Chains A and B, each alone.
Chain A
């Protein structure tokens, strides 16, 4: 089956850097997504990784290691508006389902 693990909560300070980890187990790995979700709102796409390495997009970067079943999302120059849940999601070739982790709730404090 598939399994995704993320920390439940993290707290960081405005202006700092935070790394949110995600480990997964799946057969036929076909890509990993990161989504941001503010409370009560829709998830919005942040990044997609299918090959090993780092993808950078402005203040956000995402890293993938397929051999380790591991990804992280790096948020730099944290802003108060970054307080949200960050969802790690994995797709596989065995079907057409995207499985989401439970999400990491990030609190950014002044």
Chain B
């Protein structure tokens, strides 16, 4: 089925280790997003991309980097993991909104549960 695929689904890191979360979508969406979900905090935007080769900071970008070398992929990197980055990470994508409200919102991946010890 078409959609957004996130890998890995689970990961345990030690403080200071690095890792990359991969998000892949096969819907030819222009926009992609990385969110983190924490209890009582809802979803917070980390970084987003409006097209291949472009990225921008969201609400909570510190400690993360992203890259969008191909339109279908959006990578989230943690260079030096910290316990505060223990969270569930969601990737989402959406098509370009050309101003007529035809956008149907985001399509989400199933999430990556990351624990930093």
Same complex: no
B-binding residues in A (CB < 8 A): none
A-binding residues in B (CB < 8 A): none
